[in-house]
Amino acid sequence: MPVDIERHGASAVVTINRPEALNALDLEHLQETHEQLAALASDRDVGAVILTGAGEKAFIAGADIKYMRGLDVQAARAWGELGHSAGALLETMGKPTVAAVNGFALGGGCELALACDIRLASSRAKLGQPEINLGILPGWGGTVRLARTTSLGFAKELIYTGRVLGAQEALERGLVNAVYEPADLMPQALELAGELSAKSPLAMAYAKESTNLALQGEHRGNLATEARLFSMLFASADQKEGMDAFIEKRDAVFTGA
């Protein structure tokens, strides 16, 4: 299969399966990734999604350069839009998305990791936006999300030079949330996804929706949205359960109601 899906309880692991090309995304692999993410986004049994790459070397070494080489302007536009749409699914689906960056995350690979809510990296990971060296620019959201995740000045440095970072520097720059030994990466990602899956799904979806507004739009409007989503949660059984559990000194059991 171009993309493998594995379930671990309420967590779904999406593995790009093209290790012979360092999981570079050609049309088949990008389309399949998109389809699988769309299906997981609407699957009520899934509480969190992990994105990773097959093999020991790469998360995703970018969009497939051999495929892109022959694109004309119109085809490049459609290709860019498909990558953007996959990124939008990761960024906006109503459940947390975690990138388990197990190796090279370059170009479109770094961009899909940036579209995830949280990035965990192996100490062997290498991240960057080397598109400038191919005569193009990051086309799946990198010019916007890298600056939002790190800083504008750092994003410009990486995008203009195409420099590739090691995991430690990525951590120091806020590009990844944590770095683990390679063997510990997936267990840690599964533990985090399991922890997040056990929260109230509705509270999680609204928390994500509101936090996604933080660096965009109009500040007062964003705060008004937060206030609206906050109050709506008081119609849920999960809000009663969460607060009852605190008062009764026990763990909450959320049902999504």
| Interface positions with ligand CAA (CB under 6 A) | 21-22, 24, 61-66, 83, 104, 106-108, 111, 130-131, 134, 138-140
- The helices-and-strands tally (H runs, E runs) of the chain is 11, 10
Residue 20 appears among annotated catalytic residues: no
> By the 8 A CB rule, do 233 and 203 touch?
yes
Nearer to ligand CAA, 56 or 195 (CB): 56
Catalytic pick from 35, 56, 91, 131?
A: 131
Nearest approach in angstroms of CB 25 to ligand CAA is 8
Nearest approach in angstroms of CB 232 to ligand CAA is 37
- The DSSP annotation for 128-197 comes to E-GGGGGT----SSHHHHHHHHS-HHHHHHHHHH-PEEEHHHHHHTTSSSEEE-HHHHHHHHHHHHHHHH
> By the 8 A CB rule, do 84 and 101 touch?
no
Nearest approach in angstroms of CB 143 to ligand CAA is 9
> By the 8 A CB rule, do 92 and 54 touch?
no
Residue 181 appears among annotated catalytic residues: no
HSE, side-chain direction, 13 A CA sphere, residue 250: 7
Nearer to ligand CAA, 26 or 43 (CB): 26
Nearest approach in angstroms of CB 22 to ligand CAA is 4
Nearer to ligand CAA, 19 or 256 (CB): 19
Nearer to ligand CAA, 146 or 204 (CB): 146
Catalytic pick from 111, 195, 226, 248?
A: 111
> By the 8 A CB rule, do 157 and 148 touch?
no
Residues with a known catalytic role:
111, 131
